[in-house]
Amino acid sequence: MLGEVLVIDDAKVVRTSLGRIMRRCGYALLEAENGELGLQLLALHPEVRVVFLDINMPVMDGMTFLEQIKSRFADRELPPVIIVSTETEMKSILKALALGASEYVMKPFDESIIKSKLDIVGIGYNT
Ligand SMILES: [Mg+2]
């Protein structure tokens, strides 16, 4: 196993499909249905290698999560965050990138698209 991936999305279907792809890539899945639960998991699992983050979620959205990790984990090197979004959210994507996200992927995605994003953020995977 190469490490852990944290998928934060309120849509179970997105967490499941990303989990399936990332397991094939060699990663164990940690999943959260909102930013607050994602923060808790990241605190418990500092070894997380990469985060996939939805923008619109109840309780705590992706923007707030991005703001929070910078202050809460200021002493830690943070994993790259890849925004998982829809084309209609382009303005939000740009804002998320400005807040520190590394890359974004549009829904729907497939394994080759995810691997191309891992290449961009410099995260290795089993081929
Ligand atoms: Mg959502």
Report CA(108)–ligand 1 centroid distance (Å).
13
Band of residue 88 on the pLDDT scale cut at 50, 70, 90: confident
Residue type, 16: T
User: Is the bond into 108 cis (omega within 30 degrees of 0)?
Assistant: yes
pLDDT tens track for 8-56: 999 999 999 999 999 999 999 999 999 999 999 999 999 999 999 999 9
Report CA(86)–ligand 1 centroid distance (Å).
10
Q: What are phi and psi of 60, to 5 degrees?
A: -145, 120
Report CA(56)–ligand 1 centroid distance (Å).
4
Report CA(52)–ligand 1 centroid distance (Å).
12
Report the alpha-carbon distance of residue 32 to residue 38 in Å, rounded: 5
Q: How far is CA 60 from the centre of its chain?
A: 14
Report CA(54)–ligand 1 centroid distance (Å).
6
pTM assigned to the model: 0.97
Q: Please state which CATH number belongs to domain 3-121.
A: 3.40.50.2300
